[in-house]
Amino acid sequence: MLALIVILVVASLLSPYFLSTRNIFNVLRGATMVGIVAIGMTYVILNRGIDLSVGSLVGLSAALTASFADYGIGIAASIGLVSGLVLGLANGLMITKLRLQPFIATLGMMIFARGLVFVYTNGSNIVVDKPTDAFTWLGSAYIGPVPVPVVVFVLIWALCALVLRYTVFGREIFAVGANEEAARLSGINVDRNKIRVYCISGVLAAFAGVIMASRLTVGEPNGGTLFELDAIAATLIGGTTFDGGVGSVHGTVLGVLILAFLSNVLNLLNISPYSQMLLKGVIIVLAVVVSEWRKRK
C-alpha cells in the first residue's frame, strides 16, 4: 500500500494531468483485463503452480467472441468462456493425471492456444462489422461515471476474495500450496483441487478476452500477448509467493494498481516503452527479493 501511495503522490507532482478523473478512470479501465487474469493467477500460484497459457487464452477468447458477435453477446461470450474452461481443464488434467510440471504443461498450452488463434483467424483480425450496444456495453459503457469493466473487476475481486477466505475450497487451495503431501494425508482431494484452480484461471482469462473483444470490437490474433507476465508480476508484487500457500487476492489487486499507475505516469512523462520494460523487470526481481527476505525474517 505504501508503494502505491508513493507512486500516486509523486505522479501527481510530476504531471498535472495525472489526478484528473478522466485519467484515473482510464487507468483503472485499462488495468481491468490484466487484473482479472492476475486474480486467476493468484489462485494458481497459491496452489504452488504457474499458468503461462493465460495470455493465449485471452487472445483465443477474444477472437471467438468477436467472430460470433452476430449471434448476440450472450452466445458469443459463452463460447469464449467455454474455450477458457476447456483449455484450463486440459491444463489441470495434464498436471494431475500426466504428472507434468505446471511450467511445462502450461508452456505447451500457451503455444498450442496461440497457434489455435492464428489458425482460426488465419493470422488476420476478426472485425465486428456492426457491433450492437449490447455487445459493446461490457467493454465500453459506464455506470454513472464508472466504466463497466471497472465495476465487473471489483465484483470478481470481491467474489474471489470471499471464496478464498470463507469456503472449504479456498482453504484447500492454501493447504495444497503450503504442503501437498500433508493436504493429501488430511483427506483433501489434491488433484481435484488443482484441476478446479486451473479451470478458474482459464475462465477468468477467457472473461478478460470477452471484455477485450467488447471494448475493441475486434479479435486480434496477438491479443493478450504477455498478459501472463503482467499477471505474474502483479501477483508477486502483491505478496503471493511461488512457494505456495501465502498471499491474497487483495495483494494482487494492489500489485495490479501499482503497475497500472506506474505505467501511466511514465507514459505521461513520455518515457520510452522500452525503458518501461526494463523498469518492470527490475520491479519483478525486487518483489521476489522482498518476498524471500520477509520469509527468512
pLDDT tens by residue, the chain, 297 residues? 777 888 888 888 887 888 888 889 999 999 999 999 999 999 999 999 999 999 999 999 999 999 999 999 999 999 999 999 999 999 999 999 999 999 999 999 999 999 999 999 999 999 999 899 999 999 999 999 999 999 999 999 999 999 999 999 999 999 999 999 999 999 999 999 999 999 999 999 999 999 999 999 999 999 999 999 999 999 999 989 888 999 999 999 999 999 999 888 888 888 888 888 888 788 778 777 876 676 666
* 245/228 Cα distance (integer angstroms): 20
CA atoms within 13 A on the CB side of 25: 14
CB-based contact 139:148 (threshold 8 Å): yes
Alpha carbon distances (Å) from 159 to 57, 73, 239, 253: 22, 23, 20, 13
Q: Are strands 218-219 and 146-147 parallel, antiparallel or unpaired?
A: unpaired
* 246/243 Cα distance (integer angstroms): 8
pTM: 0.94
Question: Of the candidates 73, 79, 56, 59, which has an alpha carbon nearest to the alpha carbon of residue 212?
Answer: 59
> Which pLDDT value is given to residue 294?
66
The burial class, CB within 10 Å (0-12 / 13-18 / 19+), for 240 is buried
CB-based contact 42:237 (threshold 8 Å): no
Beta bridge partners of 143: 146
> Which pLDDT value is given to residue 295?
62
> Which pLDDT value is given to residue 230?
92
The amino acid that residue 182 corresponds to is A
The burial class, CB within 10 Å (0-12 / 13-18 / 19+), for 59 is buried
The amino acid that residue 246 corresponds to is V
Q: Where are the domains of the chain?
A: 30-288
| Grid cell digits, residue 181 | 503431501
Residues with Cβ within 8 Å of 254's Cβ and at least 6 positions away in sequence, in order, are 1, 4, 237, 238
Residues with Cβ within 8 Å of 31's Cβ and at least 6 positions away in sequence, in order, are 153, 256, 257, 259, 260
